[in-house]
């Protein structure tokens, strides 16, 4: 009893299954498979069953259900959930239970979304394989020797492994799109400001954005419509332009797709081949393809690692062992307590980024690194503006390769940072992008295609994706089901 939001919501309405049965089926799946997938770090069984009963009472009373009502889902461990431990998969936040809900969860809770638990992630969302988590990494349902991606690896593993219908993740430099790409799913990073960040534990505030990881484009549209909107609790919130789901099936008129050559440098041959075939599919369907060059895209990776680390070093200053979370057991002075707490509480990747961030912000290096990166951020934005004067949507790889084997991403940090080359440019520019499956490599691992649109153009972006999905659905879903059975 698994499937998309659309399918399961239909079964609930037609009374073919009760919400309690549906929820129990997912809880049973978690009890059976989570020891293999390591997708969940915490489950919320009682709360889930309680919500399920509320939904069943509504169904029995003949009340109308909203699109996400009664659907079992999961939330990344950096999104605050009142009364439920939220740790960013870091030792430093162990035992921290928020006293308020993130706006996104408050909204979904009001619609009786059934929360199954909190999912695994790289510590403080810093990483590309989920392996910097203090719980160890989440596993890819398409092959247990491979990672689910990062940082929202747990959410992607749960959805691909049928342990949740959809997941909420966060994307600072690719953390929704990359794991979605590695696990054959649809992951949407919305325009900066359209989804409230209130209650999202900050990594790099000017880049962070919450979004959905789903099994289909229509599901992504439904979740995006539900969680977006202006929020007075987030000073950078602007809200959504228009609801996407009602217009999803409309074909984008005179669609021009841009193929930016800088995105294809150093891409694995099988990934390149799958993308070229997707381009031909769009062409056959009637889209116009234009070749473009956006040189500033090549600067995005160093710009990202300077800005993200700088903002992280400031945001993570609050974990000092005084107000909440972990505190070192033995210390003499206050200074020693803070030092020991941070050295013992943060893992090596988080410490590395705090040090890098403090370095680029320090007097003497500020102009050479931070200021230069800010200037180049402007160049990346300008590059995209120019590109969108010539096309509607850009098509690119999500990642230059398919899922990493376990252990690969923790061997060489700089090499791992380089694998974020295709995902970070949109965060720098604040524009929306999604990843969706477009094929499989010879190891039967999914290949992710990235579609990018101009700011607030989610409707056009998701319509373009939906169009492709309709054309490819049979092929993509058949293989997805196969992949999901692999570990069972
Ligand atoms: N992999 C990138 C990083 O390590 C992106 C992470 C994210 O989007 N949270 O910073």
Q: How far is the CA of 150 from the centre of ligand 1 (A)?
A: 7
Question: From CA 90, how far away is CA 75, in angstroms rounded?
Answer: 16
pLDDT of residue 443: 92
DSSP state of 369: I
Residue 426 phi/psi, 5-degree rounding, is: -70, -30
Q: Rounded to whole angstroms, what are the CA distances from 201 to 88, 169, 312? A: 8, 12, 11
Cβ pair 26, 116 in contact under 8 A: yes
Residue 110 phi/psi, 5-degree rounding, is: -60, -25
pTM of the model: 0.97
Which residue, among 447, 42, 156, has the nearest Cα to 277 in the 3D structure? 447
How many other C-beta atoms lie within 10 A of the C-beta of residue 331? 15
Question: From CA 85, how far away is CA 414, in angstroms rounded?
Answer: 32
Question: From CA 288, how far away is CA 256, in angstroms rounded?
Answer: 5
Pairing of β 256-260 and β 393-397: parallel
Sign of CA dihedral 468, 429, 422, 183: negative
Residue ranges in 100-207 assigned as alpha helix (H): 103-110, 153-160, 177-182
pLDDT of residue 475: 57
Cβ pair 450, 236 in contact under 8 A: no
Tokens representing 274? 């799958």
**Closest atom of ligand 1 to CA, residue 127:** 4
335 burial (CB, 10 Å; 0-12 / 13-18 / 19+) is exposed
- Cβ–ligand 1 distance for 409 under 6 Å, the answer no
pLDDT of residue 480: 53
* 170-193 pLDDT tens trace: 999 999 999 999 999 999 999 999
Please tell me whether residue 446 adopts helix, strand or coil conformation: strand
- Cβ–ligand 1 distance for 151 under 6 Å, the answer yes
Tokens 């500033």 -> residue: 296
Termini Cα distance of the chain = 15
Q: What is the DSSP string of 326-365?
A: ---S--SSHHHHHHHHHHHHS-HHHHHHHHHHHHHHSTTT
Pairing of β 114-119 and β 40-43: antiparallel
Per-residue pLDDT of the chain (488 residues; tens, 9 = 90+): 678 999 999 999 999 999 999 999 999 999 999 999 999 999 999 999 999 999 999 999 999 999 999 999 999 999 999 999 999 999 999 999 999 999 999 999 999 999 999 999 999 999 999 999 999 999 999 999 999 999 999 999 999 999 999 999 999 999 999 999 999 999 999 999 999 999 999 999 999 999 999 999 999 999 999 999 999 999 999 998 899 999 999 999 899 999 999 999 999 999 999 999 999 999 999 999 999 999 999 999 999 999 999 999 999 999 999 988 999 999 999 999 999 999 999 999 999 999 999 999 999 999 999 999 999 999 999 999 999 999 999 999 999 999 999 999 989 999 999 999 999 999 999 999 999 999 999 999 999 999 999 999 999 999 999 999 998 865 555 455 444 444 33
- Cβ–ligand 1 distance for 453 under 6 Å, the answer no
**Closest atom of ligand 1 to CA, residue 126:** 4
pLDDT of residue 103: 98
Question: From CA 301, how far away is CA 273, in angstroms rounded?
Answer: 24
- Cβ–ligand 1 distance for 34 under 6 Å, the answer no
Q: In what order do the strands lie in the sheet with 433-440?
A: 40-43, 114-119, 72-76, 166-170, 210-214, 186-189, 433-440, 446-453, 393-397, 256-260, 288-292
Q: How far is the CA of 132 from the centre of ligand 1 (A)?
A: 11
Report which protein residue has its CA nearest ligand 1's atom 4. 127
Residue 389 neighbours by CB under 8 Å, 6+ apart: none
- Cβ–ligand 1 distance for 203 under 6 Å, the answer yes
Question: From CA 114, how far away is CA 453, in angstroms rounded?
Answer: 31
Catalytic residue annotation: 76, 151, 175
- Cβ–ligand 1 distance for 402 under 6 Å, the answer no
Q: How far is the CA of 32 from the centre of ligand 1 (A)?
A: 30
pLDDT of residue 487: 39
Question: From CA 362, how far away is CA 231, in angstroms rounded?
Answer: 34
Tokens representing 61? 């009373």
Could you tell me what percentage of the chain is helix, strand and coil, using 3-state DSSP and rounding each to the nearest 5? 45, 15, 40
pLDDT of residue 486: 41
pLDDT of residue 473: 67
**Closest atom of ligand 1 to CA, residue 427:** 8
Question: From CA 326, how far away is CA 93, in angstroms rounded?
Answer: 6
pLDDT of residue 472: 81
């Amino acid at each position: 009893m698994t499937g998309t939001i659309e399918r399961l919501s239909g079964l609930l309405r037609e009374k073919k299954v009760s919400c309690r049965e549906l929820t129990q089926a997912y809880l049973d799946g978690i009890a059976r498979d989570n020891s293999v997938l390591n997708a969940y770090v915490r489950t919320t069984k009682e709360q889930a069953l309680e919500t399920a009963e509320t939904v069943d009472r509504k169904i029995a009373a003949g009340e109308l259900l909203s699109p996400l009502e009664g659907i079992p889902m999961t939330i990344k461990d950096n999104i605050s959930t009142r009364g439920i431990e939220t740790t960013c998969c870091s030792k430093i936040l162990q035992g921290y239970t928020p006293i308020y809900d993130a706006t996104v969860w408050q909204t979904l809770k009001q619609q009786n979304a059934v929360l199954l638990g909190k999912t695994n992630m790289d510590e403080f969302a810093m990483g590309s394989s989920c392996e910097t988590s203090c719980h160890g990494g989440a596993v890819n349902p398409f092959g247990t020797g491979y990672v689910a991606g990062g940082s929202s690896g747990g959410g992607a593993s749960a959805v691909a492994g049928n342990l949740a219908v959809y997941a909420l993740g966060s994307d600072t430099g690719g953390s929704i799109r990359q794991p979605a790409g590695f696990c054959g799913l649809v992951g949407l990073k919305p325009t900066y400001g359209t989804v409230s960040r209130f209650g999202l534990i900050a990594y790099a505030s000017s880049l962070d954005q919450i979004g959905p990881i789903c099994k289909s484009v229509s599901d992504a549209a439904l979740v995006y419509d539900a969680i977006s909107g202006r929020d007075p609790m987030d000073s950078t919130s602007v809200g959504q332009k228009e609801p996407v789901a009602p217009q999803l099936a409309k074909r984008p008129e005179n669609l021009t797709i841009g193929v930016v050559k800088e995105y294809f440098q150093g891409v694995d041959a099988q990934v390149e081949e799958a993308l070229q075939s997707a381009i031909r599919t769009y062409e056959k369907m009637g889209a116009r393809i234009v070749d473009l060059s956006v040189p500033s895209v090549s600067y995005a990776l160093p710009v990202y690692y300077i800005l993200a680390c700088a903002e992280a070093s400031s945001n993570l200053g609050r974990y000092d062992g005084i107000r909440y979370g972990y505190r070192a057991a033995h210390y003499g002075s206050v200074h020693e307590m803070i030092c020991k707490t941070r050295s013992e509480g943060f893992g090596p990747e988080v410490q590395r980024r705090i040090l890098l961030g403090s370095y680029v912000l320090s007097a003497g290096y500020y102009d050479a690194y931070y200021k230069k990166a800010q200037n180049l951020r402007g160049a990346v934005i300008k590059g995209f503006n120019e590109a969108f004067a010539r096309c509607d949507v850009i098509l690119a790889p999500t990642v230059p390769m398919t899922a990493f084997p376990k252990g690969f991403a923790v061997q060489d940090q700089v090499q791992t940072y380089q694998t974020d080359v295709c995902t970070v440019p949109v965060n720098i520019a604040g524009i929306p992008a999604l990843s969706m499956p477009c094929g499989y490599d010879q190891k039967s691992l999914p290949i992710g295609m990235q579609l990018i649109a101009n700011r607030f153009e989610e409707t056009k972006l998701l319509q373009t994706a939906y169009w492709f999905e309709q054309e490819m659905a049979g092929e993509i879903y058949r293989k997805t089901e196969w992949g999901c059975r692999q570990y069972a």
